């Protein structure tokens, strides 16, 4: 199996180098597309700077993985292997820092920018709704103000017939009640007028939000659409500021405070002391009612004022690379693809480490300079087998010759007798020393049998070759 693994490693060496080259070039292309969005200069300067950076990244990635493919599988001791694995981890971090995030920007930069536009739109809609709600909350005071004005007007009308003081006419009490009713009615009109202004601002803000949605849904370059989106966002921020200023709650609180604190009771103008006394009593009750109504209005106005103010956030223009980093959780597949392009050779390195470890466990001969290859070894053993067979044939006793009496007499010349040892081409030299067998034939190593198959002798000679 080890021989097959070694042949596979040798045959796939070119494939591994070509694959590494293609992956490095692909990473360089996407790095070029990503870095081009980050540079701000003339088109020519951006082009050359991006080309130089992407070329440097491609060369660095190719050299890094080529070194690891060459050396890491060959390292055996644990310390050296751990150091190389640490260098591999450090290199992977550097590759991600200089290339992978730019690859992700090229793969998902436009989609990340649209995601940023969508997030900005959602934030703008929420802020606008809160600003509109704060401004509209003031309109909730209008029914209370109108009810109080109507109440004072009804009391004034009732006093004209003498319901409060027992004396009909338009005296001090009627004038006081009419004055309170008119003040509250004027305040109600101001609140209603602010409602119209708030409605107009709401319509304007809705138009800006619709324009922002159109920019997101439209087709075309996302950079141009993002610029238009930013303009609409700025206009919407102005509308929200106007909504904050349109709130009439502070004015309601001031008017309510004036009603309660600056109440001036008119002097009684009754013709008699009894009538004047009743008028003074009614005026006191009116003052108490006005103070209670003022406190209620001030409390309602404080509830509106105490709402947290809305600060309109401005749209932030970002690059595709920054958008990919900010919304990385939404683009996990793109990040996985970008990182895989750069780090896939690491898997090939680990495969080579496993294969070389299997080869070492099988005890396959490691090739060194000056030693024969496996094919040469098989050929040599096959030749030794043939030589051994020839020696065995020479050592075999000759077959008995037929008696001469049994042979027919054949007329003609007789062939001369020839000594086999003197025949040309016959190796009569004998090995000496340890290479001579007891029978005079050349001795093979003790682990090699001349009559064995070459494949069996390969297995027997492996320990000797390693020595």
Task: Give the start-to-end residue ranges of the domains of the chain.
Answer: 2-110+329-362, 113-319, 373-392+432-467
Residue 347 confidence (pLDDT): 93
Average of per-residue pLDDT across 241-248: 82
Q: Select the more confidently predicted residue: 326 or 170.
A: 326
Average of per-residue pLDDT across 62-78: 91
Residue 65 confidence (pLDDT): 94
- Is residue 158 pLDDT above 50, yes or no? yes
Residue 21 confidence (pLDDT): 93
Tokens for 449, please give them: 């049998």
Least confident of 189-198, 265-274, 342-351: 265-274
- Is residue 410 pLDDT above 50, yes or no? no
Residue 60: which pLDDT band, with cuts at 50, 70 and 90? Answer: very high
Residue 168 confidence (pLDDT): 60
Could you identify the residue written with the tokens 């992407």? 54
Least confident of 91-100, 233-242, 287-296, 346-355: 287-296
Average of per-residue pLDDT across 365-378: 62
Residue 266: which pLDDT band, with cuts at 50, 70 and 90? Answer: low
Average of per-residue pLDDT across 276-283: 66
Percent of the chain with pLDDT over 90: 19
Residue 432 confidence (pLDDT): 40
Percent of the chain with pLDDT over 70: 73
Burial of 85 (0-12, 13-18, 19+ CB in 10 A): middle
Residue 444 confidence (pLDDT): 46
- Is residue 75 pLDDT above 50, yes or no? yes
Residue 77 confidence (pLDDT): 87
- How far is the CA of 96 from the CAs of 11, 160, 336, in angstroms? 31, 89, 11
- Is residue 159 pLDDT above 50, yes or no? yes
Query: What long-range pairs does 418-426 form, CB within 8 A, spacing at least 24?
Result: none
As a whole number, the mean pLDDT across the chain is 77
Residue 429 confidence (pLDDT): 39
């Amino acid at each position: 199996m080890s021989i097959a693994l070694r042949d596979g490693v040798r045959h796939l060496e070119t494939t591994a180098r070509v694959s590494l080259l293609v992956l490095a070039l692909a990473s360089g292309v996407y790095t070029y597309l990503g870095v081009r969005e980050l540079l701000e200069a003339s088109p020519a300067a951006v082009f050359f700077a991006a080309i130089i950076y992407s070329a440097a990244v491609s060369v660095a990635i190719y050299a890094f993985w080529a070194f690891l493919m060459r050396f890491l599988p060959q390292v055996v001791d644990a310390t050296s292997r751990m150091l190389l694995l640490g260098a591999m981890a450090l290199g992977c971090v550097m590759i991600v820092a200089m290339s992978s995030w730019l690859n992700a920007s090229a793969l998902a930069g436009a989609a990340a920018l649209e995601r940023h536009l969508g997030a900005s739109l959602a934030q703008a809609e929420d802020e606008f709704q809160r600003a509109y709600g704060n401004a509209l909350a003031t309109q909730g005071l209008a029914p209370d103000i109108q009810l109080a004005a109507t109440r004072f007007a009804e009391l004034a009308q009732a006093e004209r017939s003498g319901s409060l003081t027992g004396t009909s006419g338009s005296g001090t009490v009627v004038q006081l009640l009419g004055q309170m009713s008119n003040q509250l009615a004027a305040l109600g009109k101001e609140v209603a007028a602010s409602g119209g202004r708030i409605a107009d601002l709401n319509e304007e803000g809705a138009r800006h939000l619709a324009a922002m949605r159109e920019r997101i849904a439209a087709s075309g370059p996302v950079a141009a659409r993002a610029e238009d989106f930013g303009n609409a966002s700025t206009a919407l921020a102005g509308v929200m500021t106007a909504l904050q200023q349109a709130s009439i709650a502070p004015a309601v609180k001031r008017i309510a405070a004036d009603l309660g604190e600056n109440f001036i009771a008119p002097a009684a103008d009754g013709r008699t002391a009894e009538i004047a006394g009743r008028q003074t009593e009614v005026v006191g009750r009116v003052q108490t009612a006005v103070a209670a109504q003022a406190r209620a209005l001030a409390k309602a106005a404080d509830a509106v004022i105490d709402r947290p103010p809305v600060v309109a956030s401005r749209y932030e223009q970002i690059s595709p690379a920054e958008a990919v980093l900010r919304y990385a959780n939404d683009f996990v597949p793109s990040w996985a693809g970008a990182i895989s392009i750069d780090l896939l050779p690491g898997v090939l390195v680990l495969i080579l480490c496993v294969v070389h470890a299997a080869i070492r466990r099988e005890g396959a001969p490691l090739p060194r300079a000056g030693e024969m290859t496996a094919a040469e070894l098989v050929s040599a053993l096959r030749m030794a087998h043939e030589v051994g067979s020839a020696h065995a044939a020479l050592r075999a006793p000759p077959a008995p010759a037929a008696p001469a009496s049994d042979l027919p007499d054949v007329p003609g010349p007789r062939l001369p007798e020839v000594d086999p040892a003197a025949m040309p081409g016959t190796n009569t030299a004998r090995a000496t020393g340890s290479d001579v067998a007891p029978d005079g034939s050349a001795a093979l190593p003790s682990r090699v049998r001349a009559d064995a198959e070459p494949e069996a002798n390969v297995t027997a000679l492996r320990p000797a070759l390693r020595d």
